[in-house]
A = this chain, B = another copy of it.
Amino acid sequence: MSTQVEPHSRPRVEGPREAEILEAALAVLAEVGYDRLTMDAVAQKAKASKATLYRRWNGKVQLVIDALQHDHRQHHYTEQGVVDTGTLRGDLIDAFCGHGGLTDKPEVDAFGAILTAITRDAEFAEAFRTQVLAPKLAGSKALFERAKERGEIRADVDIELLAPALAGIVLHRFFLVGERPTKALIENVIDQIILPAAGVSHPTVR
């Protein structure tokens, strides 16, 4: 195969090379926003050729979505792989304060660009909601379902409503008031709002 004869003229995009390109895409997204992000700019940032990018991604929608998914894949915060700390409080802190969580700088920096893209680009909005957000929400719901099963939270808790609330409260503070998410803020929201709303009056771990 020609890829083996001329590895540099036909690089395969996978493994560490793929990761570099996806991280470059996230960086460019945070820097210039979605509107102004181009395949060219990402290629330049990743020191790759534009042709290399196009061999793997057909355009910027999928490149950016993959970059956002990549960030989450490195973490365990998905329906399949949530860490079980034994308490809802521990699970939430683990999910929201780790890599790919809300305290993660590249993630949060890109979020302004993501919100703009959602309001302006219906194709991106659809791809983001189904490919990035849905697994994230499912992961969050799984934590609450598990807590309900072990009797830690009220049996009638509306998980559909409560599971996304933590992210909503924290991101609202970030965008509207300019307060960056910290572990202390997230713990505070969990202890003051999420757990009381779930009927956990005395958090098991403090």
Point out the residues of chain B lying under 8 angstroms from A171, CB to CB.
168, 172
A168 and B173 contact, Cβ closer than 8 Å, known pairs A119-B116, A161-B189: yes
Count of chain A residues with Cβ under 8 Å from any Cβ of B? 37
Chain A residues 139-158 with CB under 8 Å of chain B are: 157-158
Q: Check A119–B112 contact: CB distance below 8 A.
A: yes
Number of identical monomers bound together in the oligomeric complex: 2
Inter-chain CA distance A108–B57, complex, in Å, is 34
Could you show 21 A-B contacts with beta carbons less than 8 Å apart?
Answer: A33-B119, A112-B116, A115-B115, A116-B119, A125-B178, A137-B177, A157-B192, A161-B188, A161-B189, A161-B193, A162-B192, A165-B165, A165-B169, A165-B172, A168-B169, A168-B170, A168-B171, A169-B169, A169-B172, A171-B172, A194-B197
Q: Which residues of A contact B (CB under 8 A)?
A: 33, 112-113, 115-116, 118-120, 125, 129, 133, 137, 157-158, 161-162, 164-165, 167-173, 175-178, 188-189, 192-194, 196-197, 199
Seed contacts A165-B169, A169-B169; 15 additional CB < 8 Å A-B pairs: A33-B119, A112-B115, A112-B116, A112-B118, A116-B116, A118-B175, A119-B175, A129-B177, A129-B178, A133-B177, A162-B192, A193-B197, A194-B197, A196-B196, A196-B197
